[in-house]
Structure 1
Amino acid sequence: DDPFRVKSSKDVIAFLESNYSKKLCGFSVDVKDLYYTIPQAEILSSVNDLIDEYGAVAFQNESGISTTGFLELLSLYLGSTFAEWNGEVFIQKEGICIGSCLAPFLSDVFLAARDRSMKERFEGSRVYSIFRFVDDYLVFLDCDNLDFEQQFPDVLSVFSECLTPLVLTHEVPLNDFIRFLDLSLHFSPSHVCWAYEPRAVKPILPFSSAHSKLVKRAIVHTVFSNTVNKSCEHRLKHSFSNQVDRLAKAGYPSESLVSVAGKLLEKLKSKGNSKCTKETKKRKIVVVPYLHKVSHNLKRIGKHAGVEVVFSAPKRLSGLIKNVNSEIKESRKCPIKHAKQFVPCQEGVIYSLPLSCGKRYIGQTGRCLNERLREHEYNVSRVAISGHVAKHCRHCKGNEDDDDTYVCAPNYQESAVLEKNRDSLAREIIEAHLI
């Protein structure tokens, strides 16, 4: 029973969400070379206490070995790690072999007893909560920045006393920022913000690797979903931009990032709008091949049993008539006869419209680009109130050297297609990114 141990950063996020409006300060403590510095005698003592708490008789019946025999076997295992250096063999006297499968468990058993004693020492103090992941501690204090400078040495001394003889290092917030696991914590005067920011310096798997597209899309989806789920509303935009930059440096194209982001956005929207009842969750559906005079009888029987039976067709038109469903690879011509054709016809594009003042208008359309440019020309020529291009041309003064008669005008023939995408949501995301 460890009061501080957590399995992931989700436990820290749940704590921060429940105490969002509380003013907290914090710092982190790290155990240096944990596996190498734990005394073996204290490991055996901690395991013995754990067995006594579980029950020596129950342990012997469960494992088939007595407590004394098990501790002797464990002592032999811990003292059997050796290494060869310059032709000489050395035995590891203290700690646990870092490659041992027992290292994580034994270190947790050793630290659990120390964590329980620390919890008793911190009762009635300004320590609000403590989290531990392997050898990293995150400590939250219920105080402001002035009290933090007074409380910090006392809390750190309790850590040193309870974790003796382990070597400890600590980290205080720098510019109100501190990192723990894959989170970046920002301590503001009124609350604590958090954002997804992994510690790993190792870059993301390059897009040029030989892995399949499914693996690469899964990597992008994991990065984006972690960013959304592990960032607060104040730090989400900054964290998402950082992860997009990481993926871009690894060579991931913007089309792939936009596609995954669009799917994730649709999933989040559907998750927020879905209201599943208990009856819907317990709904049972069975798919059976359609057989004349049999399938409908099965459906009636399943209805009485609370099971919905649906049918699958053994033969489909796509398998019977291949020629009808074969793709016709012909160049698709624009069905509109344009009175003015500014640029070659294209549909589903994100475009750039240059202006005489030197600026450019970024827009998107699912229709033919010439139709959208014609609408811009109409709005500008009629001095329309609506439309961003017409509004800009009406108020633009050009450069400072220009006189009062200067009129800003779009150059429709120089319009350029920046990206192409048939999905409207994807086009809107690309448009916002380019703007």
Structure 2
Amino acid sequence: MKLYYEFVKIYVKLYKIRKDLIFIRTCKRERLIPTFAHVRLANPHLRKTQVIQQCAQNILQGELKYKKRLLTQSYRHSSRLFNMLKDSIPQNIIFNRLISIRDEIISKQVKKFEERHDHKLAKLRYYNVKKAMEQSHRNSMILSSLPNNNRNDNNTQENDLKTITNLSQRKLTIDEENALKHGLHHVFPTDKFDNSRFVCNMEHFYAKLINLHTDYRHYERKDSQQQIKHKLTSTQLNVAGELRSIANSFRKKAELEMTINNQQYKQIKQTLRSLANDTNIIITRPDKGRGVVIMDKGEYISKMETLLEDQTKFKRIYDDPTIPNEDRLIRLLLRLQKEGFITNEEFRMAKPIGSRPARLYGLPKLHKPNENYPLRPVMSAIKTVGYGLGRMLKNRLSHLRTSPYVIKDSFDFLHKIKSSKNVDKILVSFDVASLFTNVPLTYTIDFVLEQMYPTCSKSCLKLPKTKQCRKCKQNVDFRTLLEEATSKTHFTFNNKMYVQHNGVAMGAPLAPVIADIFMSHLETTLMDRLTQSGVCEWYRYVDDTFVFINKDANVDNILSILNEFHPSIKFTRKIEDNDKLEFLDVQVIRSSEQQCFETTIYRKPTFTGLLTSWNSYVPIQYKKASIVSMVNRALNICSTYKHLEDEFNEIRRIGLLNNYPLSFIDTIIGIKLSQHRNKTFTKIDTPIIENDKKKIYVEIPFIQSSTIGLKNKIKHLTNKLKPDLDIQFFFKPPSSTQAFFQNKDPIVKHMKSDVVYYVKCNDCTHSYIGKTERQCIRRLNEHGAPKTAYQQQCNHVSDDLNHNSNIQELRRSSRIRNKTTITNDNNSDNMIAKSSITQHEKETGHHMDWSNFQVIWQDNHYYRLLIKESLLIKAYEPELNKTTHSVPLLVFPDGLPRVLLPNPDL
């Protein structure tokens, strides 16, 4: 009887432990703190601090581990008692009856356990909800108690953020509004761990750590029998093994943490997918400020195409000129490099690789409701033919942007007006309407050439190039470069292709430079007339100006002088109102008593008050930066303590509206205020000790506490191998809400670059996995794909792109196109013959399925691209590949299992 009593008792204990484990896991998942995890403190106000909260979570984790150990011990003990009881009772009927009695007792006890835990959870959940409601009420009371600062008419004065502007016919549900209210930059936890990217980052980090260099950049060209060996020391091998162990441990913890964090956001993500699948609407951000704008897709396309119908700026083309333009630019750059007109560094910067058409999209101007919310065209110009060239020319033209009237930023502006003696003058602001799209491109290019490469005479330019003097040759060459980076830029919108031959597009690297050069030229040319008309001081930032004029000056006369300079450019004016005028993020206030200017923060009416939400799944440094930037601006711009106090209250208001804890905001304000006072009133002459350590940057995914643990372990491990290195970590959060809404035209498959691709044979199971930095079509042609495979999609641009109808020039263009193409790799018949794909087709008579090749991965980081190719080759072992990897896999020599990699056949 005693044995049976102990037997039942241990089984009841066993089931109680299981229920306790479920209770603890629920508390951890919902961030509930049971009574046993409370920490007694002398100061009760410290209970809400992050340290105490983390301490409670650690107690829960410790209790969880203890219960798991106890469960294992109890299970073993119960098994022993079960066997002893069975041996002591030979009759099966009696034994089975005792077991059924045990089950009845356990059932009753388990029910009691469940009721007790449910009651505890209900109390804890009620306490959490009550605490949240009290916090919300306290925030509302704080918001209402903060003094109302009406110097700026914006939305932040209300107790809720109005971040969504619905211009469409679709009515949003409450769930849809809640999913979008934090803006398109908001980040929700993800439930998918990117194993391939993480492994690539670990491999790349370790390769940099041991300074690995491989002699074989092109593994495809080596002999198939040749073995490539990478010798590592025993220490390096041990560190690689430890790094692999750390990485695998992190992957398991991260996947578990992601599963827990993602549970409460499943419905929100489903709502966002539903919105993204609605083809009748466009969801985008506004032209200025943060927020969400919803438009009818038909209206959006109609407004954009109305802009593109302006033939003075845009022209429709019917073929994709990307590849011929890229070839032509490479030939030009090679010639200029050979002639010494550009340096080797400039050549590398300007040389295009894997170019693609630019993509145009529009951002609604919410500050212009009277004009039915027009769209601002913005160009995504990354990886276009002239993108690198634009960056190179930006450096060459930088000296032409300098002007005594240009200001660098708000702080430079403050320094200038504080030293101004024209306090009694009238303040006026002149603004250029749509400067970027209206800047006269040909006029500005002519001015640039006149300043940098003046010609010897006009007649010399008309001579054949071989007979031109050196000055005229340089003039012609630099004009060609400028045109390639500006007027030759083509783009797609709504699956139609255009070229912008006048003005410069927002997003192009040369756009702000061209605009600045034109405005500087305007100022230099007109300043004498403007001074005679009453202008005393003139300051400009891009297209906004801040001007002091005499009281007897005629503002309209000054405006006329500005508007007469060029027919493409139109200025508007704004005169000070109630002794106040805004410029950038500064409001200038005339102080009649002290005969000086006061300054404070200015926020435009388009400012929604939206910051990175406190609930956004990003590192705490992002959230801290949101408050720090506002506090620093306040300390540097506000000129009086009254303005500073008002601005701090405004920062508190904005932070609370974005769910930031008031204590977090006040702590940052206190720290920055102390730093500012120490910087102002004390000067500490301490020598600056420079860190001579070499820096290595490593990207790791942001998974909250798991990420911090990984960072500390990698740092500790690195110190073993190379203590002289400074490891800098970059926490990569998941994709933002913007990833659900892609409004730019997709890039066609054969024009994608920086990819890992997959081609299979039509007649057998053989396949090939490769990578390329260039367009897929170039690499596939080198493998033996027929030249006509993508001819319909990649026809050369028609000569209306050049805006010429001269037959002789058409013939010349034809000859240029028929010249040998210069590409990254040697695109010759010999190379095609060496391709394993070509050899397979010749030996077997089979044909590859060129039209259905797959782009498996895209990555603009070259080494990561090589590792991804190696992972796929290792996992799938394609028969036509000559090698097992592109670069050595040192940390994960066995690669990744297929279940964690994309399936090329799908």
Pick the TM interval, shorter chain: 0.5 to 0.7
User: Does the 8 A contact of 1:24 with 1:142 survive in 2?
Assistant: yes
Gaps of 5+ in 2: 1-401, 457-470, 693-906
The match for 1:71 is 479
Q: Name the amino acid aligned to 1:103.
A: A
Distance 1:168 1:122, change over 3 A: closer
> Displacement of 1:10 after TM fit?
1.3
The match for 1:260 is 668
Work out the CA distance in 2 between the residues paired with 1:29 and 1:54: 35
> Displacement of 1:125 after TM fit?
4.6
User: Does the 8 A contact of 2:423 with 2:590 survive in 1?
Assistant: no
Work out the CA distance in 2 between the residues paired with 1:224 and 1:88: 46
CA RMSD of superposed structures (Å): 3.5
Distance 1:273 1:80, change over 3 A: closer
Q: Name the amino acid aligned to 1:187.
A: R
Distance 1:53 1:258, change over 3 A: farther
Work out the CA distance in 2 between the residues paired with 1:122 and 1:239: 37
Work out the CA distance in 2 between the residues paired with 1:75 and 1:21: 43
User: Does the 8 A contact of 2:652 with 2:662 survive in 1?
Assistant: no
The match for 2:539 is 131
The match for 1:290 is none
User: Does the 8 A contact of 1:24 with 1:192 survive in 2?
Assistant: no
Deviations 1:26-46 (A, max 9, x none): 121111111111122202112
Work out the CA distance in 2 between the residues paired with 1:78 and 1:236: 45
The match for 1:228 is 635
Distance 1:244 1:20, change over 3 A: farther
Work out the CA distance in 2 between the residues paired with 1:285 and 1:86: 51
The match for 2:607 is 201
Work out the CA distance in 1 between the residues paired with 2:654 and 2:421: 29
* Identity between Structure 1 and Structure 2 (%): 21
SS at match of 1:174: coil
User: Does the 8 A contact of 1:131 with 1:137 survive in 2?
Assistant: yes
User: Does the 8 A contact of 1:207 with 1:251 survive in 2?
Assistant: yes
Work out the CA distance in 2 between the residues paired with 1:108 and 1:9: 17
Work out the CA distance in 1 between the residues paired with 2:557 and 2:507: 35
Deviations 1:354-398 (A, max 9, x none): xxxxxxxxxxxxxxxxxxxxxxxxxxxxxxxxxxxxxxxxxxxxx
Deviations 1:83-139 (A, max 9, x none): 456665433231113221111111111221111112222334532211111111111
Instruction: Compute the TM-score of the two structures, normalised by the length of structure 2.
Output: 0.28
Alignment of 1:93-172 (within 5 A): 93-143=501-551, 147=552, 150-172=553-575
The match for 1:4 is 405
Distance 1:282 1:250, change over 3 A: closer
SS at match of 2:507: coil
User: Does the 8 A contact of 1:38 with 1:95 survive in 2?
Assistant: yes
Work out the CA distance in 1 between the residues paired with 2:690 and 2:563: 58
Are 1:191 and 2:596 counterparts?
yes
The match for 1:238 is 646
User: Does the 8 A contact of 1:196 with 1:231 survive in 2?
Assistant: yes
Work out the CA distance in 1 between the residues paired with 2:510 and 2:477: 17
Deviations 1:196-221 (A, max 9, x none): 22436241111111122233223212
Which of the numbers 160, 181, 204 marks the counterpart of 2:584?
181
More helix by proportion, 1 or 2? 2
Distance 1:239 1:159, change over 3 A: farther
The match for 2:657 is 249
Distance 1:185 1:269, change over 3 A: closer
Which of the numbers 425, 443, 447 marks the counterpart of 1:42?
443
SS at match of 2:406: coil
User: Does the 8 A contact of 1:3 with 1:119 survive in 2?
Assistant: no
Distance 1:7 1:282, change over 3 A: closer
Work out the CA distance in 2 between the residues paired with 1:12 and 1:117: 23
The match for 2:626 is 219
User: Does the 8 A contact of 1:81 with 1:92 survive in 2?
Assistant: yes
Work out the CA distance in 1 between the residues paired with 2:455 and 2:662: 56
> Displacement of 1:172 after TM fit?
2.3
User: Does the 8 A contact of 1:25 with 1:187 survive in 2?
Assistant: no
> Displacement of 1:8 after TM fit?
0.4
Deviations 1:171-206 (A, max 9, x none): 223343322111112234443221122436241111
Which of the numbers 406, 413, 417 marks the counterpart of 1:16?
417
More strand by proportion, 1 or 2? 1
SS at match of 1:217: helix
Work out the CA distance in 2 between the residues paired with 1:273 and 1:185: 25
Instruction: Compute the TM-score of the two structures, normalised by the length of structure 1.
Output: 0.56
SS at match of 2:548: strand
Distance 1:179 1:79, change over 3 A: same
SS at match of 1:15: helix
SS at match of 2:572: strand
Distance 1:2 1:269, change over 3 A: closer
The match for 1:312 is none
The match for 2:683 is 275
Deviations 1:308-342 (A, max 9, x none): xxxxxxxxxxxxxxxxxxxxxxxxxxxxxxxxxxx
User: Does the 8 A contact of 1:43 with 1:106 survive in 2?
Assistant: yes
The match for 1:414 is none
Work out the CA distance in 1 between the residues paired with 2:528 and 2:644: 37
Work out the CA distance in 2 between the residues paired with 1:252 and 1:87: 43
Distance 1:66 1:283, change over 3 A: closer
Deviations 1:412-435 (A, max 9, x none): xxxxxxxxxxxxxxxxxxxxxxxx
Distance 1:43 1:285, change over 3 A: closer
Distance 1:90 1:275, change over 3 A: closer
Distance 1:23 1:89, change over 3 A: same
> Displacement of 1:223 after TM fit?
0.8
User: Does the 8 A contact of 1:37 with 1:166 survive in 2?
Assistant: yes
SS at match of 1:195: strand
Length, aligned pairs only: 277
Alignment of 1:344-355 (within 5 A): none
Work out the CA distance in 1 between the residues paired with 2:527 and 2:589: 25
Distance 1:112 1:242, change over 3 A: same
Work out the CA distance in 1 between the residues paired with 2:455 and 2:688: 39
Distance 1:39 1:271, change over 3 A: closer
SS at match of 1:26: strand
SS at match of 1:162: coil
> Displacement of 1:142 after TM fit?
4.1
Which of the numbers 428, 435, 451 marks the counterpart of 1:27?
428
User: Does the 8 A contact of 1:26 with 1:141 survive in 2?
Assistant: yes
Alignment of 1:49-60 (within 5 A): 49-52=450-453
Gaps of 5+ in 1: 56-62, 287-435
Work out the CA distance in 2 between the residues paired with 1:85 and 1:269: 53
Distance 1:20 1:66, change over 3 A: closer
Q: Name the amino acid aligned to 1:170.
A: R
User: Does the 8 A contact of 1:39 with 1:95 survive in 2?
Assistant: yes
Q: Name the amino acid aligned to 1:43.
A: T
SS at match of 2:564: helix
> Displacement of 1:260 after TM fit?
1.0
> Displacement of 1:50 after TM fit?
2.4
